[in-house]
Structure 1
Amino acid sequence: MTKKTNQSCMEMWVKTNRGNLYAKSWPGPQITQNQPPIVLLHDSLGSTQQWRDFPMRLADATGHPVIAYDRLGFGKSDPHPGLLGASFISDEAKESFSAVIEQLSIGRFIVFGHSVGGGMAVSIARAYPDQCQAIITESAQSFVEDRTLDGILVARDSFSDPSQMKRLEKHHGSKAKWVLDAWVNTWHLPEFSQWCLDEDLPLVRCPILAIHGENDEYGSSRHPKRIVALAEVPVRFECLSKCGHVPHREQEKEVLDAIRSFIEDMH
């Protein structure tokens, strides 16, 4: 089902074997059939709604259509039927993302992932080498780092404040506790401790833009540097000074400029 919300975006629902996914698209000002859409992958507590106006501005800046969707269990998508397993990052490529590109008739695409979505973006590029034209990672984790685990625990403790949980419920409704538990518990699973992108990165066949804030509270610059070191394709690393874990909100202009330049250089 597709519903037009205003002149600049459309809402859609994508069916999967485990439930329906909520998706939204922004066509951009110069859309043609030859421009692959940029597909956004949200972070561990994120949703389509939490991208705010960034997708529209990204479409305006690049001329490419932009599509975002809520992973199962997040935002307006259906509840997740169980727990996230240790393979949830690589599973996204063959589960929800597969349904999105099939049902929305997406051929070629650029994938943009924030935080854990960045790891998913790399796995997706590996799974779809002929369709993925480029990867943009923002604040992506490429392995399990103590800074990430410690930051998650600090954030978990902040949700003992009822006002913080209400903020999460604003975006995820009754699924908010599941979203928080999925983030905290999955990253601390013993079987997840060895997760990394070391096997995926050498198999990527498209250029990569890695954006990272120097003050990222959930990951050091070791993450993008690992992407640079292991990928066998051109990688552009943009380190943003005085920036934390959400560059597209903290330094939107710099992020848009970096993405625009990266995409222009691809042509």
Structure 2
Amino acid sequence: MIIEREDRHLPTEDGDVFIRRWRTNTTKVPIVLLHDSLGCVELWRDFPERLAAATARDVIAYDRLGFGRSAPHPGGWSTRFIRDEAERFFLPVWGVLDAERFIAFGHSVGGAMAASLAAHHSRHCLGVITESAQAFVEDRTLHGIRQAQAAFAAPDQLDRLRKYHGEKAEWVLSAWFDTWLSDAYAGWTLEDSAPSIACPLLALHGAEDEYGSAVHPRRIAELATGAAQTLMLDGCFHVPHREQPEVVLTAVRQFVEAMP
């Protein structure tokens, strides 16, 4: 299958958004990727192209405002940031998808955002895939973030982030640490951002995930009013699409194969 890569900057009222699309020249409903708290389009590496080939669907990834090649975040960041992505910032991206319907795939906090897209755009989201997503603020989550915070105190670690986020790197770290470790966020649950999920759901989770136990995919599946599947990956940590890509690709292909 020939896959063509297309990059563009989308002007929005909040700033330019960087979008990359892997085109398969099929008419199937596309898959939209939502990155994690420190992520961006580039950090998906070769996974989107492999996903496009495995599913014979276009795959679209974008840098959220404040991340990667997109403009700095316009401000107003709050504990509602997951819901804000679904209700506000995703809408201009959706407008250029050339598709009324989509399948949402999100990694880590991007998984919570994918679930929120499904909840807020239920007539248009045909399926949602969460990978290593959190459903609440668990002690294990906070421990993992505090360990990362200590690691990023080293200057060379911040330099690695600047490679992908440029001058926004410090803001990216602050948005992650200051939100998740705050008292104001301690009571957050996914239900706040995705009260219910009406479309089919696949929740992937590494058994050794340092940011969340096996309780999370089960809690996410409980939000689905339709078909829901969970898949625990033995020996896998927080980034299954990088650690066990073949397993993830097979699971996603099987999940979406019956969809238009």
Deviation at 1:221, TM superposition (A): 0.7
**What is the match of residue 19 of structure 2?**
23
Aligned residues: CA RMSD: 1.6
- Structure 1 stretches of at least 4 aligned residues deviating more than 4 Å after TM superposition: 199-202
Change (3 A) 1:163 1:199: closer
Say whether residues 1:158 and 2:148 are aligned partners: no
Indicate if the aligned counterparts of 2:203 and 2:230 stay in contact, CA closer than 8 A.
yes
Identity of aligned residues (%): 51
Aligned match of 1:123 in 116, 124, 135? 116
Aligned match of 1:245 in 223, 231, 238? 238
Q: Which amino acid aligns with 2:50?
A: R
Deviation at 1:201, TM superposition (A): 5.1
**What is the match of residue 37 of structure 2?**
44
Say whether residues 1:75 and 2:71 are aligned partners: no
**What is the match of residue 172 of structure 2?**
179
Q: Which amino acid aligns with 1:221?
A: A
**What is the match of residue 53 of structure 1?**
46
Q: Secondary structure at the match of 2:21?
A: strand
Q: How many residues align?
A: 259
**What is the match of residue 211 of structure 2?**
218
CA distance in 2, matches of 1:219, 1:148: 5
Aligned match of 2:26 in 18, 21, 32? 32
CA distance in 1, matches of 2:227, 2:3: 37
Normalising by structure 1, report the TM-score: 0.93
Q: Secondary structure at the match of 2:257?
A: helix
Greater alpha carbon shift after TM alignment, 65-74 vs 82-91: 82-91
CA distance in 2, matches of 1:188, 1:160: 16
Q: Secondary structure at the match of 2:191?
A: coil
Aligned positions of 1:93-242 closer than 5 A: 93-198=86-191, 203-242=196-235
Deviations 1:89-124 (A, max 9, x none): 011012221110113333110000000001111111
Q: Secondary structure at the match of 2:210?
A: coil
Q: Which amino acid aligns with 1:21?
A: V
Q: Secondary structure at the match of 1:142?
A: coil
Greater alpha carbon shift after TM alignment, 91-100 vs 56-65: 91-100
Indicate if the aligned counterparts of 1:86 and 1:189 stay in contact, CA closer than 8 A.
no
Gaps of 5+ in 1: 1-5
**What is the match of residue 11 of structure 1?**
7
Q: Which amino acid aligns with 1:107?
A: E
Q: Which amino acid aligns with 1:19?
A: G
Deviations 1:38-95 (A, max 9, x none): 0000000000000000000000000010000000000000111336200000110122
Normalising by structure 2, report the TM-score: 0.95
CA distance in 1, matches of 2:65, 2:185: 20
**What is the match of residue 3 of structure 1?**
none
CA distance in 2, matches of 1:202, 1:187: 20
Gaps of 5+ in 2: none
Deviation at 1:169, TM superposition (A): 0.7
